[in-house]
Structure 1
Amino acid sequence: MSSRYCVLGNPVKHSKSPMIHQAFAAQTGKPLAYTAELAPLDGFEAAWRAFCESGGRGANVTVPFKQQAFALCDTQSLRARRAGAVNTLSLGQNGRVFGDNTDGIGLLRDLKACEVPLAGKRVLVLGAGGAVRGVLEPLLNEAPRELVIANRTGARAEALAADFRDLGTVSGGGYEVLSGRFDLVINGTSASLAGELPPLPETLFEPDAVAYDMMYAAAPTVFLQWAQMRGARTIDGLGMLVEQAAEAFFIWQNVRPETAPVQALLRKTLIEG
Protein backbone atom coordinates (compact mmCIF):
# COMPACT_ATOMS: atom_id res chain seq x y z
CA MET A 1 0.00 0.00 0.00
CA SER A 2 1.31 3.46 -0.94
CA SER A 3 2.18 5.95 1.79
CA ARG A 4 0.12 9.16 1.71
CA TYR A 5 1.73 12.58 1.42
CA CYS A 6 0.48 16.02 0.37
CA VAL A 7 1.26 19.68 -0.03
CA LEU A 8 -0.67 21.94 2.36
CA GLY A 9 -1.18 25.56 1.39
CA ASN A 10 -3.62 28.36 0.57
CA PRO A 11 -3.80 28.75 -2.38
CA VAL A 12 -2.58 25.30 -3.44
CA LYS A 13 -4.43 24.29 -6.63
CA HIS A 14 -1.58 25.62 -8.78
CA SER A 15 1.06 23.48 -7.00
CA LYS A 16 3.34 21.29 -9.08
CA SER A 17 4.37 19.25 -6.03
CA PRO A 18 2.07 16.28 -6.84
CA MET A 19 3.60 15.94 -10.30
CA ILE A 20 7.13 16.24 -8.91
CA HIS A 21 6.71 13.65 -6.17
CA GLN A 22 4.89 11.21 -8.44
CA ALA A 23 7.81 11.53 -10.89
CA PHE A 24 10.29 10.88 -8.04
CA ALA A 25 8.25 7.85 -6.95
CA ALA A 26 8.23 6.39 -10.46
CA GLN A 27 11.97 7.02 -10.86
CA THR A 28 12.99 5.46 -7.54
CA GLY A 29 10.45 2.64 -7.28
CA LYS A 30 9.11 4.08 -4.02
CA PRO A 31 5.32 4.24 -4.53
CA LEU A 32 3.41 6.99 -2.77
CA ALA A 33 0.11 8.80 -3.09
CA TYR A 34 0.56 12.57 -3.16
CA THR A 35 -2.19 15.20 -3.29
CA ALA A 36 -2.64 18.97 -2.98
CA GLU A 37 -4.71 19.88 0.10
CA LEU A 38 -6.22 23.32 0.67
CA ALA A 39 -5.91 24.37 4.32
CA PRO A 40 -8.19 27.14 5.66
CA LEU A 41 -6.25 30.29 6.54
CA ASP A 42 -7.40 29.93 10.15
CA GLY A 43 -7.23 26.12 10.26
CA PHE A 44 -3.78 24.90 9.23
CA GLU A 45 -3.11 22.65 12.24
CA ALA A 46 -6.59 21.11 12.02
CA ALA A 47 -6.01 20.36 8.32
CA TRP A 48 -2.69 18.65 9.11
CA ARG A 49 -4.24 16.58 11.94
CA ALA A 50 -7.14 15.53 9.70
CA PHE A 51 -4.69 14.47 6.97
CA CYS A 52 -2.73 12.36 9.48
CA GLU A 53 -5.94 10.74 10.75
CA SER A 54 -6.76 9.73 7.18
CA GLY A 55 -3.42 7.91 6.85
CA GLY A 56 -1.06 10.75 5.91
CA ARG A 57 2.63 10.33 6.73
CA GLY A 58 4.05 13.70 5.73
CA ALA A 59 3.45 17.01 4.01
CA ASN A 60 5.17 19.79 2.18
CA VAL A 61 4.04 23.18 3.51
CA THR A 62 3.74 26.25 1.32
CA VAL A 63 2.53 29.84 1.79
CA PRO A 64 1.36 31.12 4.17
CA PHE A 65 1.82 28.32 6.74
CA LYS A 66 5.57 27.71 7.18
CA GLN A 67 5.81 29.40 10.57
CA GLN A 68 2.60 27.73 11.78
CA ALA A 69 4.08 24.40 10.69
CA PHE A 70 7.14 25.13 12.79
CA ALA A 71 4.95 25.76 15.85
CA LEU A 72 3.06 22.47 15.67
CA CYS A 73 6.17 20.24 15.51
CA ASP A 74 7.35 18.14 18.44
CA THR A 75 10.93 18.37 17.15
CA GLN A 76 12.64 20.30 14.35
CA SER A 77 15.90 19.96 12.45
CA LEU A 78 18.71 22.40 13.21
CA ARG A 79 18.17 24.20 9.89
CA ALA A 80 14.43 24.53 10.57
CA ARG A 81 15.10 25.92 14.05
CA ARG A 82 17.53 28.42 12.58
CA ALA A 83 14.96 29.48 10.00
CA GLY A 84 12.04 29.52 12.42
CA ALA A 85 10.02 28.02 9.57
CA VAL A 86 9.15 24.48 8.41
CA ASN A 87 8.25 23.36 4.89
CA THR A 88 8.46 19.58 5.40
CA LEU A 89 6.46 17.66 8.02
CA SER A 90 6.93 14.00 8.89
CA LEU A 91 4.71 11.90 11.17
CA GLY A 92 6.76 9.37 13.14
CA GLN A 93 5.58 5.89 14.09
CA ASN A 94 5.25 7.20 17.66
CA GLY A 95 2.83 9.91 16.51
CA ARG A 96 5.36 12.70 17.01
CA VAL A 97 5.75 15.35 14.31
CA PHE A 98 9.19 16.22 12.93
CA GLY A 99 9.72 19.43 10.98
CA ASP A 100 12.48 20.31 8.53
CA ASN A 101 13.20 23.15 6.11
CA THR A 102 14.47 22.22 2.65
CA ASP A 103 14.05 25.65 1.01
CA GLY A 104 17.62 26.76 1.66
CA ILE A 105 19.31 23.61 0.39
CA GLY A 106 16.95 23.66 -2.60
CA LEU A 107 17.96 27.22 -3.51
CA LEU A 108 21.64 26.53 -2.95
CA ARG A 109 21.66 23.39 -5.12
CA ASP A 110 19.91 25.24 -7.92
CA LEU A 111 22.32 28.20 -7.73
CA LYS A 112 25.24 25.76 -7.91
CA ALA A 113 23.67 23.89 -10.83
CA CYS A 114 23.31 27.25 -12.61
CA GLU A 115 26.94 28.12 -11.74
CA VAL A 116 26.09 31.21 -9.71
CA PRO A 117 29.02 32.05 -7.37
CA LEU A 118 28.32 33.37 -3.88
CA ALA A 119 31.69 33.63 -2.14
CA GLY A 120 32.83 37.25 -1.89
CA LYS A 121 29.73 38.55 -3.69
CA ARG A 122 27.23 41.24 -2.68
CA VAL A 123 23.79 39.62 -2.36
CA LEU A 124 20.35 41.25 -2.02
CA VAL A 125 17.33 39.27 -0.80
CA LEU A 126 13.87 40.81 -1.27
CA GLY A 127 11.23 39.96 1.34
CA ALA A 128 11.25 38.94 4.99
CA GLY A 129 8.73 36.10 5.22
CA GLY A 130 9.07 32.37 5.88
CA ALA A 131 10.56 31.61 2.46
CA VAL A 132 13.38 34.11 3.03
CA ARG A 133 14.02 32.91 6.60
CA GLY A 134 14.60 29.44 5.21
CA VAL A 135 17.37 30.42 2.79
CA LEU A 136 19.49 32.87 4.81
CA GLU A 137 21.66 30.38 6.71
CA PRO A 138 22.67 28.37 3.60
CA LEU A 139 23.39 31.58 1.68
CA LEU A 140 25.55 32.99 4.49
CA ASN A 141 27.41 29.69 4.84
CA GLU A 142 28.73 30.32 1.31
CA ALA A 143 30.59 33.43 2.58
CA PRO A 144 29.20 36.30 0.52
CA ARG A 145 30.93 39.64 1.09
CA GLU A 146 27.64 41.16 2.24
CA LEU A 147 23.98 40.11 2.38
CA VAL A 148 21.26 42.78 2.41
CA ILE A 149 17.59 42.09 3.16
CA ALA A 150 15.00 44.57 1.83
CA ASN A 151 11.31 44.53 2.64
CA ARG A 152 8.30 46.88 2.36
CA THR A 153 8.24 46.98 6.15
CA GLY A 154 11.84 47.88 6.86
CA ALA A 155 11.63 46.95 10.55
CA ARG A 156 10.89 43.31 9.63
CA ALA A 157 13.99 43.18 7.44
CA GLU A 158 16.09 44.77 10.20
CA ALA A 159 14.85 42.23 12.76
CA LEU A 160 15.53 39.34 10.38
CA ALA A 161 19.05 40.60 9.68
CA ALA A 162 19.71 40.78 13.43
CA ASP A 163 18.70 37.11 13.79
CA PHE A 164 21.40 36.01 11.33
CA ARG A 165 24.18 38.53 11.99
CA ASP A 166 26.29 35.91 13.78
CA LEU A 167 26.74 34.12 10.42
CA GLY A 168 28.16 37.01 8.41
CA THR A 169 27.76 40.62 7.30
CA VAL A 170 23.98 41.08 7.16
CA SER A 171 21.86 44.23 7.15
CA GLY A 172 18.19 44.94 6.54
CA GLY A 173 15.79 47.78 5.85
CA GLY A 174 13.15 49.19 3.52
CA TYR A 175 13.46 49.42 -0.26
CA GLU A 176 13.97 53.16 0.01
CA VAL A 177 17.37 52.75 1.70
CA LEU A 178 18.88 50.39 -0.90
CA SER A 179 22.19 51.66 -2.25
CA GLY A 180 24.96 50.35 -4.44
CA ARG A 181 24.97 47.48 -6.93
CA PHE A 182 24.58 43.74 -6.31
CA ASP A 183 26.02 40.59 -7.88
CA LEU A 184 22.95 38.50 -7.03
CA VAL A 185 19.39 39.68 -6.34
CA ILE A 186 16.93 37.06 -5.04
CA ASN A 187 13.22 37.85 -5.07
CA GLY A 188 11.70 36.05 -2.09
CA THR A 189 8.50 38.12 -2.04
CA SER A 190 5.14 36.84 -3.29
CA ALA A 191 4.78 39.92 -5.53
CA SER A 192 5.35 37.82 -8.67
CA LEU A 193 2.20 35.79 -7.93
CA ALA A 194 0.19 39.00 -8.32
CA GLY A 195 2.25 40.27 -11.28
CA GLU A 196 3.69 43.06 -9.16
CA LEU A 197 7.21 44.41 -8.77
CA PRO A 198 8.83 45.64 -5.55
CA PRO A 199 9.86 49.33 -5.74
CA LEU A 200 13.50 48.82 -6.74
CA PRO A 201 16.11 51.37 -7.81
CA GLU A 202 17.18 51.36 -11.46
CA THR A 203 20.86 50.97 -10.64
CA LEU A 204 20.61 47.66 -8.81
CA PHE A 205 22.80 45.29 -10.80
CA GLU A 206 26.52 44.83 -11.28
CA PRO A 207 27.48 44.22 -14.95
CA ASP A 208 27.53 40.39 -14.56
CA ALA A 209 24.69 40.22 -12.04
CA VAL A 210 22.16 37.40 -11.65
CA ALA A 211 18.48 37.95 -10.83
CA TYR A 212 16.75 34.95 -9.23
CA ASP A 213 13.00 34.75 -8.57
CA MET A 214 11.83 32.05 -6.15
CA MET A 215 8.55 32.07 -8.09
CA TYR A 216 8.17 30.51 -11.52
CA ALA A 217 5.70 30.62 -14.41
CA ALA A 218 5.46 29.63 -18.07
CA ALA A 219 6.74 33.10 -18.98
CA PRO A 220 9.33 35.16 -17.07
CA THR A 221 7.92 36.90 -13.99
CA VAL A 222 7.59 40.68 -13.89
CA PHE A 223 10.71 40.84 -11.70
CA LEU A 224 12.75 38.75 -14.15
CA GLN A 225 11.52 40.80 -17.12
CA TRP A 226 12.52 43.99 -15.30
CA ALA A 227 15.93 42.54 -14.42
CA GLN A 228 16.61 41.27 -17.94
CA MET A 229 15.92 44.73 -19.36
CA ARG A 230 18.64 46.03 -17.04
CA GLY A 231 21.24 43.53 -18.17
CA ALA A 232 20.99 40.81 -15.52
CA ARG A 233 21.09 37.09 -16.20
CA THR A 234 17.76 35.66 -15.03
CA ILE A 235 16.76 32.39 -13.33
CA ASP A 236 13.31 31.43 -12.07
CA GLY A 237 12.48 29.24 -9.06
CA LEU A 238 11.55 26.03 -10.87
CA GLY A 239 14.91 24.43 -10.08
CA MET A 240 14.63 25.44 -6.42
CA LEU A 241 11.14 23.89 -6.28
CA VAL A 242 12.40 20.58 -7.64
CA GLU A 243 15.54 20.54 -5.47
CA GLN A 244 13.70 21.29 -2.22
CA ALA A 245 11.15 18.60 -3.13
CA ALA A 246 13.98 16.11 -3.72
CA GLU A 247 15.33 16.83 -0.25
CA ALA A 248 11.85 16.29 1.24
CA PHE A 249 11.52 13.01 -0.70
CA PHE A 250 14.89 11.93 0.73
CA ILE A 251 13.69 12.75 4.27
CA TRP A 252 10.58 10.60 3.79
CA GLN A 253 11.95 7.74 1.67
CA ASN A 254 15.71 7.74 2.38
CA VAL A 255 16.37 7.76 -1.38
CA ARG A 256 17.73 10.78 -3.27
CA PRO A 257 16.04 11.15 -6.67
CA GLU A 258 17.61 12.61 -9.81
CA THR A 259 16.34 16.17 -10.24
CA ALA A 260 17.41 17.14 -13.78
CA PRO A 261 14.89 14.94 -15.67
CA VAL A 262 12.05 16.03 -13.37
CA GLN A 263 12.93 19.69 -13.85
CA ALA A 264 12.97 19.17 -17.64
CA LEU A 265 9.56 17.45 -17.48
CA LEU A 266 8.13 20.29 -15.41
CA ARG A 267 9.52 22.97 -17.74
CA LYS A 268 8.02 21.18 -20.75
CA THR A 269 4.65 20.92 -18.98
CA LEU A 270 4.72 24.63 -18.08
CA ILE A 271 5.54 25.71 -21.63
CA GLU A 272 2.85 23.48 -23.13
CA GLY A 273 0.33 24.85 -20.62
Structure 2
Amino acid sequence: MTDLYAVMGNPIGHSKSPQIHTAFAKITDQDLLYSAILVPLDGFDAAVDDFFRRGGKGLNITVPFKENAWRYADAFSARAKRAQAVNTLIQQDDGTVLADNTDGVGMVRDITVNQNVAIESKRVLILGAGGAVRGVLQPVLEQSPAEVVIANRTVSKAEALAADFTDLGCVSGCGFADVKGEFDLIINGTSASLAGELPPIPAACMTDKTVSYDMMYGAETTVFNQWALDNGAAKAIDGLGMLVEQAAEAFRLWRDVLPQTQAVMNALREDRRA
Protein backbone atom coordinates (compact mmCIF):
# COMPACT_ATOMS: atom_id res chain seq x y z
CA MET A 1 0.00 0.00 0.00
CA THR A 2 1.36 3.39 -1.01
CA ASP A 3 2.13 5.63 2.00
CA LEU A 4 0.75 9.17 1.99
CA TYR A 5 2.70 12.32 2.83
CA ALA A 6 1.99 15.99 2.17
CA VAL A 7 2.93 19.59 2.81
CA MET A 8 0.32 21.92 4.31
CA GLY A 9 0.33 25.68 4.03
CA ASN A 10 -1.49 28.79 2.81
CA PRO A 11 -0.52 29.69 0.14
CA ILE A 12 0.92 26.42 -1.12
CA GLY A 13 0.89 26.50 -4.93
CA HIS A 14 4.52 27.66 -5.08
CA SER A 15 5.82 24.77 -2.94
CA LYS A 16 8.72 22.72 -4.30
CA SER A 17 8.16 20.00 -1.69
CA PRO A 18 6.13 17.61 -3.89
CA GLN A 19 8.84 17.75 -6.57
CA ILE A 20 11.60 17.25 -4.00
CA HIS A 21 10.02 14.35 -2.11
CA THR A 22 8.87 12.60 -5.28
CA ALA A 23 12.48 12.72 -6.46
CA PHE A 24 13.70 11.41 -3.09
CA ALA A 25 11.24 8.51 -3.30
CA LYS A 26 12.53 7.59 -6.75
CA ILE A 27 16.18 7.83 -5.66
CA THR A 28 15.61 5.63 -2.59
CA ASP A 29 13.02 3.28 -4.15
CA GLN A 30 10.31 4.18 -1.62
CA ASP A 31 6.60 3.60 -2.31
CA LEU A 32 4.95 6.87 -1.34
CA LEU A 33 2.72 9.63 -2.67
CA TYR A 34 3.46 13.24 -1.67
CA SER A 35 1.00 16.08 -2.31
CA ALA A 36 0.47 19.75 -1.45
CA ILE A 37 -2.61 20.68 0.57
CA LEU A 38 -4.01 24.21 0.77
CA VAL A 39 -5.38 24.65 4.30
CA PRO A 40 -7.87 27.37 5.31
CA LEU A 41 -6.34 29.80 7.78
CA ASP A 42 -8.78 28.68 10.46
CA GLY A 43 -8.77 24.99 9.52
CA PHE A 44 -5.36 23.57 10.42
CA ASP A 45 -6.34 21.05 13.10
CA ALA A 46 -9.27 19.74 11.04
CA ALA A 47 -7.05 19.33 7.98
CA VAL A 48 -4.40 17.40 9.91
CA ASP A 49 -7.04 15.22 11.60
CA ASP A 50 -8.50 14.38 8.19
CA PHE A 51 -5.10 13.60 6.68
CA PHE A 52 -4.10 11.17 9.42
CA ARG A 53 -7.60 9.66 9.46
CA ARG A 54 -7.09 8.82 5.78
CA GLY A 55 -3.92 6.92 6.65
CA GLY A 56 -1.36 9.68 6.16
CA LYS A 57 2.07 8.94 7.60
CA GLY A 58 3.72 12.35 7.83
CA LEU A 59 3.44 16.04 7.05
CA ASN A 60 5.62 19.00 6.27
CA ILE A 61 4.24 22.27 7.59
CA THR A 62 4.96 25.67 6.07
CA VAL A 63 3.73 29.22 6.66
CA PRO A 64 1.62 30.23 8.45
CA PHE A 65 1.05 27.00 10.39
CA LYS A 66 4.34 26.11 12.12
CA GLU A 67 3.11 27.31 15.51
CA ASN A 68 -0.25 25.57 14.95
CA ALA A 69 1.69 22.37 14.36
CA TRP A 70 3.59 22.95 17.60
CA ARG A 71 0.29 23.13 19.47
CA TYR A 72 -1.16 20.11 17.63
CA ALA A 73 1.62 17.62 18.34
CA ASP A 74 1.70 15.13 21.20
CA ALA A 75 5.50 14.85 21.53
CA PHE A 76 8.55 16.86 20.43
CA SER A 77 12.16 16.33 19.47
CA ALA A 78 14.74 18.29 21.48
CA ARG A 79 15.35 20.69 18.60
CA ALA A 80 11.59 21.25 18.13
CA LYS A 81 11.30 22.16 21.81
CA ARG A 82 14.06 24.72 21.33
CA ALA A 83 12.51 26.16 18.18
CA GLN A 84 8.97 26.27 19.62
CA ALA A 85 7.77 25.84 16.03
CA VAL A 86 7.81 22.77 13.83
CA ASN A 87 7.91 21.95 10.15
CA THR A 88 7.59 18.14 10.29
CA LEU A 89 4.93 15.90 11.82
CA ILE A 90 5.39 12.15 12.13
CA GLN A 91 2.56 9.68 12.78
CA GLN A 92 3.92 7.17 15.29
CA ASP A 93 2.91 3.52 15.66
CA ASP A 94 0.77 4.25 18.72
CA GLY A 95 -1.20 6.91 16.87
CA THR A 96 0.44 9.89 18.56
CA VAL A 97 2.07 12.65 16.52
CA LEU A 98 5.75 13.57 16.97
CA ALA A 99 6.88 17.05 15.94
CA ASP A 100 10.33 18.02 14.70
CA ASN A 101 12.05 21.00 13.14
CA THR A 102 14.48 20.13 10.34
CA ASP A 103 15.25 23.68 9.15
CA GLY A 104 18.43 24.15 11.18
CA VAL A 105 19.83 20.73 10.38
CA GLY A 106 19.11 21.37 6.72
CA MET A 107 20.81 24.77 6.71
CA VAL A 108 23.88 23.56 8.61
CA ARG A 109 24.23 20.53 6.33
CA ASP A 110 24.02 22.80 3.28
CA ILE A 111 26.65 25.18 4.68
CA THR A 112 29.12 22.63 6.03
CA VAL A 113 28.70 19.70 3.64
CA ASN A 114 27.43 21.04 0.31
CA GLN A 115 29.30 24.35 0.47
CA ASN A 116 32.27 23.14 2.54
CA VAL A 117 32.10 26.20 4.80
CA ALA A 118 33.15 25.64 8.41
CA ILE A 119 31.13 27.05 11.30
CA GLU A 120 33.35 25.66 14.06
CA SER A 121 35.48 28.35 15.73
CA LYS A 122 34.04 31.03 13.43
CA ARG A 123 32.38 34.35 14.26
CA VAL A 124 28.78 34.17 13.02
CA LEU A 125 26.26 37.00 12.58
CA ILE A 126 22.59 36.05 12.22
CA LEU A 127 20.12 38.70 11.06
CA GLY A 128 16.59 38.55 12.44
CA ALA A 129 15.04 37.18 15.61
CA GLY A 130 11.84 35.54 14.37
CA GLY A 131 10.79 31.93 14.05
CA ALA A 132 13.15 31.21 11.16
CA VAL A 133 16.17 32.18 13.25
CA ARG A 134 14.93 30.43 16.39
CA GLY A 135 14.56 27.27 14.31
CA VAL A 136 18.21 27.19 13.25
CA LEU A 137 20.03 28.42 16.36
CA GLN A 138 20.51 25.08 18.11
CA PRO A 139 22.09 23.30 15.11
CA VAL A 140 24.33 26.33 14.46
CA LEU A 141 25.53 26.45 18.08
CA GLU A 142 26.10 22.68 18.06
CA GLN A 143 28.81 23.36 15.44
CA SER A 144 30.82 25.15 18.18
CA PRO A 145 31.27 28.60 16.62
CA ALA A 146 33.53 31.02 18.48
CA GLU A 147 30.60 33.44 18.81
CA VAL A 148 27.09 33.98 17.47
CA VAL A 149 25.63 37.49 17.36
CA ILE A 150 21.91 37.91 16.66
CA ALA A 151 21.05 41.33 15.21
CA ASN A 152 17.48 42.52 14.88
CA ARG A 153 15.53 45.73 14.37
CA THR A 154 13.92 45.33 17.81
CA VAL A 155 16.90 44.97 20.13
CA SER A 156 14.95 43.43 23.03
CA LYS A 157 13.75 40.59 20.80
CA ALA A 158 17.32 39.74 19.75
CA GLU A 159 18.50 39.85 23.34
CA ALA A 160 15.63 37.66 24.57
CA LEU A 161 16.25 35.09 21.84
CA ALA A 162 19.97 34.98 22.61
CA ALA A 163 19.22 34.49 26.31
CA ASP A 164 17.22 31.36 25.50
CA PHE A 165 20.30 29.73 23.96
CA THR A 166 23.23 30.86 26.11
CA ASP A 167 23.52 27.37 27.61
CA LEU A 168 24.61 26.10 24.19
CA GLY A 169 27.43 28.54 23.50
CA CYS A 170 28.57 32.14 23.23
CA VAL A 171 25.53 33.96 21.83
CA SER A 172 24.37 37.57 22.24
CA GLY A 173 21.77 39.93 20.77
CA CYS A 174 21.90 43.53 19.54
CA GLY A 175 20.37 46.01 17.12
CA PHE A 176 21.40 46.21 13.45
CA ALA A 177 23.28 49.47 14.02
CA ASP A 178 25.14 47.97 16.99
CA VAL A 179 26.87 45.21 15.02
CA LYS A 180 30.61 45.50 15.68
CA GLY A 181 33.63 43.86 14.11
CA GLU A 182 34.13 41.44 11.22
CA PHE A 183 32.36 38.11 10.73
CA ASP A 184 33.29 34.86 8.99
CA LEU A 185 29.68 33.92 8.23
CA ILE A 186 26.62 36.19 7.97
CA ILE A 187 23.22 34.48 7.78
CA ASN A 188 20.17 36.47 6.73
CA GLY A 189 17.17 35.03 8.56
CA THR A 190 14.89 38.01 7.85
CA SER A 191 12.35 38.10 5.04
CA ALA A 192 13.73 41.41 3.77
CA SER A 193 14.97 39.85 0.52
CA LEU A 194 11.39 38.98 -0.46
CA ALA A 195 10.58 42.69 -0.45
CA GLY A 196 13.85 43.69 -2.14
CA GLU A 197 15.08 45.30 1.07
CA LEU A 198 18.27 45.05 3.12
CA PRO A 199 18.77 44.74 6.87
CA PRO A 200 20.68 47.95 7.77
CA ILE A 201 23.95 46.43 9.00
CA PRO A 202 27.33 48.13 8.52
CA ALA A 203 29.34 47.02 5.49
CA ALA A 204 32.41 46.92 7.75
CA CYS A 205 31.27 43.56 9.13
CA MET A 206 32.03 42.04 5.70
CA THR A 207 35.55 41.10 4.54
CA ASP A 208 36.99 39.26 1.56
CA LYS A 209 36.86 36.08 3.69
CA THR A 210 33.20 36.44 4.74
CA VAL A 211 30.57 34.00 3.48
CA SER A 212 27.00 35.29 3.22
CA TYR A 213 24.02 32.94 3.46
CA ASP A 214 20.46 34.03 2.69
CA MET A 215 17.71 31.66 3.84
CA MET A 216 15.62 33.05 0.97
CA TYR A 217 16.12 32.09 -2.66
CA GLY A 218 14.85 33.11 -6.06
CA ALA A 219 15.60 33.02 -9.76
CA GLU A 220 18.10 35.85 -9.32
CA THR A 221 20.72 36.58 -6.68
CA THR A 222 18.93 37.86 -3.58
CA VAL A 223 19.29 41.52 -2.63
CA PHE A 224 21.19 40.54 0.52
CA ASN A 225 23.64 38.29 -1.30
CA GLN A 226 24.19 40.90 -4.01
CA TRP A 227 24.97 43.45 -1.30
CA ALA A 228 27.42 40.99 0.26
CA LEU A 229 29.19 40.38 -3.06
CA ASP A 230 29.29 44.12 -3.80
CA ASN A 231 31.03 44.58 -0.46
CA GLY A 232 33.68 41.96 -1.14
CA ALA A 233 32.26 38.74 0.30
CA ALA A 234 34.20 35.61 -0.61
CA LYS A 235 31.05 33.60 -1.34
CA ALA A 236 27.28 34.11 -1.37
CA ILE A 237 24.87 31.20 -0.91
CA ASP A 238 21.08 31.21 -1.20
CA GLY A 239 18.54 29.06 0.64
CA LEU A 240 17.74 26.52 -2.07
CA GLY A 241 20.15 24.00 -0.58
CA MET A 242 18.59 24.53 2.85
CA LEU A 243 15.16 23.80 1.35
CA VAL A 244 16.36 20.51 -0.12
CA GLU A 245 18.37 19.46 2.92
CA GLN A 246 15.58 20.15 5.43
CA ALA A 247 13.33 18.05 3.20
CA ALA A 248 15.93 15.27 3.16
CA GLU A 249 16.04 15.27 6.96
CA ALA A 250 12.22 15.05 7.13
CA PHE A 251 12.35 12.18 4.62
CA ARG A 252 14.90 10.41 6.85
CA LEU A 253 12.63 10.80 9.87
CA TRP A 254 9.70 9.30 7.97
CA ARG A 255 11.45 6.55 5.97
CA ASP A 256 14.67 5.89 7.91
CA VAL A 257 16.81 6.59 4.85
CA LEU A 258 18.69 9.82 4.03
CA PRO A 259 18.45 10.53 0.29
CA GLN A 260 21.26 11.97 -1.80
CA THR A 261 20.44 15.60 -2.49
CA GLN A 262 22.84 16.92 -5.13
CA ALA A 263 20.87 15.74 -8.18
CA VAL A 264 17.66 17.20 -6.76
CA MET A 265 19.33 20.57 -6.09
CA ASN A 266 20.77 20.59 -9.61
CA ALA A 267 17.33 19.91 -11.11
CA LEU A 268 15.71 22.70 -9.09
CA ARG A 269 18.40 25.16 -10.15
CA GLU A 270 17.90 24.19 -13.79
CA ASP A 271 14.13 24.69 -13.45
CA ARG A 272 14.78 28.09 -11.93
CA ARG A 273 16.91 29.14 -14.88
CA ALA A 274 14.38 27.94 -17.46
Shift in Å at residue 33 of structure 1? Answer: 1.4
Shift in Å at residue 79 of structure 1? Answer: 1.5
Shift in Å at residue 175 of structure 1? Answer: 1.4
Structure 1 residue aligned with 2:154 = 153
What SS does the corresponding residue of 1:57 show, helix, strand or coil? strand
Structure 2 residue aligned with 1:190 = 191
Structure 1 residue aligned with 2:273 = 271
- Residue 8 in 1 paired to residue 8 in 2? yes
- Contact kept in structure 1, 2:69 and 2:86, CA below 8 Å: yes
* In structure 2, distance between residues paired with 1:100 and 1:195: 31
Structure 1 residue aligned with 2:168 = 167
Shift in Å at residue 183 of structure 1? Answer: 1.0
Instruction: Supply the AA of the counterpart residue of 2:6.
Output: C
Instruction: Supply the AA of the counterpart residue of 2:206.
Output: F
Distance 1:43 1:174, change over 3 A: farther
What SS does the corresponding residue of 1:64 show, helix, strand or coil? coil
Structure 2 residue aligned with 1:234 = 236
Shift in Å at residue 55 of structure 1? Answer: 3.3
- Contact kept in structure 2, 1:5 and 1:58, CA below 8 Å: yes
Q: Deviations over 1:157-189 (max 9, x none)?
A: 111100000111111122122222211111111
Instruction: Supply the AA of the counterpart residue of 2:65.
Output: F
* TM score, norm. by length of structure 2: 0.94
Structure 2 residue aligned with 1:118 = 119
Q: Percent of aligned positions with the same letter in both sequences?
A: 58
* In structure 1, distance between residues paired with 2:206 and 2:45: 41
Instruction: Supply the AA of the counterpart residue of 2:3.
Output: S
- Residue 29 in 1 paired to residue 25 in 2? no
Q: Deviations over 1:10-67 (max 9, x none)?
A: 3322111110000001111112211222233343323322322333221111223222
Moved more, 34-43 or 87-96: 34-43
* In structure 1, distance between residues paired with 2:41 and 2:126: 26
* In structure 1, distance between residues paired with 2:184 and 2:33: 41
Shift in Å at residue 131 of structure 1? Answer: 1.8
Distance 1:248 1:63, change over 3 A: same
Instruction: Supply the AA of the counterpart residue of 1:15.
Output: S
* In structure 2, distance between residues paired with 1:155 and 1:43: 33
Shift in Å at residue 241 of structure 1? Answer: 0.9
Structure 1 residue aligned with 2:200 = 199
Moved more, 79-88 or 42-51: 42-51
Shift in Å at residue 108 of structure 1? Answer: 1.1
* In structure 2, distance between residues paired with 1:175 and 1:11: 30
* In structure 2, distance between residues paired with 1:181 and 1:42: 45
Instruction: Supply the AA of the counterpart residue of 1:165.
Output: T
Shift in Å at residue 208 of structure 1? Answer: 0.4
What SS does the corresponding residue of 2:165 show, helix, strand or coil? helix
- Contact kept in structure 1, 2:207 and 2:231, CA below 8 Å: no
* TM score, norm. by length of structure 1: 0.94
Structure 2 residue aligned with 1:62 = 62
What SS does the corresponding residue of 2:184 show, helix, strand or coil? strand
Shift in Å at residue 226 of structure 1? Answer: 1.1
Q: Deviations over 1:57-95 (max 9, x none)?
A: 211112232222122110011121122221110122332
Q: Kindly report which structure 2 residues correspond to 1:34-49, keeping only aligned pairs within 5 A, or say none.
A: 34-49=34-49
What SS does the corresponding residue of 1:182 show, helix, strand or coil? coil
Shift in Å at residue 147 of structure 1? Answer: 0.3
Structure 1 residue aligned with 2:91 = 91
Instruction: Supply the AA of the counterpart residue of 2:205.
Output: L
- Contact kept in structure 2, 1:67 and 1:130, CA below 8 Å: no
Aligned length: 272
Structure 2 unaligned runs (5+)?
A: none
Moved more, 33-42 or 205-214: 33-42
What SS does the corresponding residue of 2:140 show, helix, strand or coil? helix
* In structure 2, distance between residues paired with 1:266 and 1:115: 20
Instruction: Supply the AA of the counterpart residue of 1:256.
Output: L
Structure 1 residue aligned with 2:260 = 258
Instruction: Supply the AA of the counterpart residue of 1:248.
Output: A
* In structure 1, distance between residues paired with 2:196 and 2:69: 27
Structure 1 unaligned runs (5+)?
A: none
